[in-house]
């Protein structure tokens, strides 16, 4: 088949592509990528191809300000401007959904949109808030991101960041909502030094091994490993915590909790946990025995070493989860505090949704299932929304059209999570094994 002229040269907006096939779309992206052009429009949707290298294309925020979508070559700033423009012009809050598989570049794109919005707002005001919102990122990444086989800085939680603007288009505050933090990696990496490491935990876990469980002093964190400058990262997080008004005491408490989690990871159990040798403190008690109350009588039973290890892991995961939630809450107290008392309708907002991307490892855990389910759900919403919008547009313009059929993943979603009986309901989150049903 003769190639359409648009496929030879490539196009900025794939709506104008002559070969509207999967191969045609991919060829266009490839052609552009070879020329160092990582962004391509498909109407109002932007496709970003991860270049895995730094391009000097993120300094000219002002160039995109006030320009319509499509006026300038495709760029992430053009999408950010489109959100900002539509919010102000139509007085309607906007939402930007960033989707793609793990390592595709979603978090980087979210940060670039935020960079654009804070730069535009910063021109109009002299507030601290933009800096505080930007500085929340390294903190969340330190605790909620991790190195995986697919991505050195993989988000292990979902994030919805809502940025609130006043009527002059100036940022007044923001609020972070976090979803489904992956907790199991904290236990695996503590015990086995799994390659999946959180940035803040990695120097600490190494320190524990090096110093054979002696109490951790902050200075042992100054280690350089795996091509990363951990000391620099650590200072960066510390300064971000200061900007978000975490006190020195709170910072020390965070370190203590991290150290406690790592020490707990080094606790091992030998055979049946004997009560006399072990029961010294409340924590030890709760890790090594189980009490059941029946008919007002309390029966205490020692746990097997395997059960005690599962119990220890559950405690560590719970501490990590609470710590993360507490950090997000504290950040929100700073970036959202002025807005909290005003009615929500006083502001317009731009929401940025950045969730963990689709993953498929050789061995997949319960958490991967949840991550992939969230991605399926988002895909369904996105496809449904786009087709609905497109067909509404046709209707408005009086264009004759055939109802467009698109592949729907509803069956997959129902199998996984439709009530009352679904795959999720059969799995116990803690053990990741099927629940044992009472007979």
Ligand X SMILES: Nc1ncnc2c1ncn2[C@@H]1O[C@H](COP(=O)(O)OP(=O)(O)OP(=O)(O)O)[C@@H](O)[C@H]1O
Dist. CA 71–CA 221, nearest whole Å:
49
Q: Is 100 flagged in the annotation as binding?
A: yes
Task: Establish whether 102 is a catalytic residue.
Answer: yes
Q: Report the nearest approach of ligand X to the CB of residue 162 (Å).
A: 19
Residue 106 or 185 with smaller CB distance to ligand X: 106
Sign of CA dihedral 98, 354, 346, 79: negative
Q: Is 288 flagged in the annotation as binding?
A: no
Q: Is 107 flagged in the annotation as binding?
A: yes
Q: Report the nearest approach of ligand X to the CB of residue 183 (Å).
A: 16
Q: Is 245 flagged in the annotation as binding?
A: no
Q: Is 106 flagged in the annotation as binding?
A: yes
Q: Report the nearest approach of ligand X to the CB of residue 372 (Å).
A: 11
Q: Report the nearest approach of ligand X to the CB of residue 223 (Å).
A: 21
Task: Establish whether 66 is a catalytic residue.
Answer: no
Task: Establish whether 107 is a catalytic residue.
Answer: yes
Of 82, 145, 155, 288, which one is the catalytic site residue? 155
Q: Report the nearest approach of ligand X to the CB of residue 361 (Å).
A: 12
Residue 80 or 348 with smaller CB distance to ligand X: 80
Task: Establish whether 151 is a catalytic residue.
Answer: yes
Task: Establish whether 305 is a catalytic residue.
Answer: no
Structure tokens at 40: 């391509």
Query: Which residues of this chain interact with ligand X, rule CB under 6 A?
Result: 50-52, 54, 100, 102-108, 151-155, 356-357
Residue 206 or 359 with smaller CB distance to ligand X: 359
Q: Is 105 flagged in the annotation as binding?
A: yes
Task: Establish whether 148 is a catalytic residue.
Answer: no
Residue 151 or 196 with smaller CB distance to ligand X: 151
Of 7, 28, 40, 102, which one is the catalytic site residue? 102
Annotated binding site: 100-107
Question: Among all residues, which ones are annotated catalytic?
Answer: 102-103, 107, 151, 154-155, 357, 359
Annotated binding site for ATP: 100-107
């Amino acid at each position: 088949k003769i190639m359409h002229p648009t496929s030879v040269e490539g196009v900025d907006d794939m709506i104008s592509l002559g070969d509207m096939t999967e191969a045609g779309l991919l060829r266009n992206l490839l052609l552009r990528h070879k020329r160092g052009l990582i962004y391509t429009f498909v109407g109002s949707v932007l496709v970003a191809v991860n270049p895995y290298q730094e391009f000097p294309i993120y300094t000219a925020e002002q160039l995109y300000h006030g320009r319509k979508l499509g006026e300038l070559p495709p760029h992430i700033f053009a999408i950010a401007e489109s959100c900002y423009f539509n919010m102000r012009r139509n007085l309607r809050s906007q939402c930007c959904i960033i989707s793609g598989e793990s390592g595709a570049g979603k978090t980087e794109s979210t940060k670039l949109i935020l960079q654009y919005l804070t730069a535009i707002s910063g021109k109009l005001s002299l507030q601290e808030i933009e800096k505080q919102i930007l500085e929340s990122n390294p903190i969340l990444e330190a605790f909620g991101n991790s190195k995986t086989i697919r991505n050195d800085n993989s988000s292990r939680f979902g994030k919805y960041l809502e940025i609130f603007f006043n009527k002059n288009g100036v940022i007044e505050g923001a609020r972070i909502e976090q979803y489904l933090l992956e907790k199991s990696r904290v236990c695996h990496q503590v015990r086995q030094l799994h390659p999946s490491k959180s940035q803040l935990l990695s120097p600490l876990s190494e320190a524990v091994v090096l110093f054979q469980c002696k109490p951790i002093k902050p200075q042992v964190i100054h280690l350089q490993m795996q091509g990363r400058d951990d000391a620099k990262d650590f200072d960066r997080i510390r300064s971000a915590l200061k900007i978000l008004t975490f006190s020195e005491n709170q910072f020390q408490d965070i370190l203590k909790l991290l150290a406690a989690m790592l020490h707990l990871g080094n606790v091992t159990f030998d055979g049946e946990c004997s009560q006399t040798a072990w029961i010294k403190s409340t924590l030890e008690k709760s890790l090594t025995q189980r009490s059941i109350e029946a008919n007002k009588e309390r029966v205490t039973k020692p746990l097997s070493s395997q059960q005690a290890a599962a119990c220890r892991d559950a405690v560590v995961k719970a501490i990590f989860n609470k710590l993360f939630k507490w950090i997000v809450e504290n950040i929100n107290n700073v970036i959202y505090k002025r807005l909290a008392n005003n009615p929500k309708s006083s502001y317009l907002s731009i929401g940025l949704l950045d969730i963990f991307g689709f993953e498929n490892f050789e061995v997949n855990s319960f958490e991967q299932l949840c991550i992939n389910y969230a991605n399926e759900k988002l895909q369904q919403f996105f496809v449904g929304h786009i087709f609905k919008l497109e067909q509404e547009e046709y209707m408005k313009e009086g264009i004759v059209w055939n109802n467009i059929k698109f592949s729907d993943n509803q069956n997959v979603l129902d199998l996984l999570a439709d009530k009352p009986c679904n795959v999720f309901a059969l799995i116990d989150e803690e053990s990741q094994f099927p629940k044992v049903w009472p007979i």
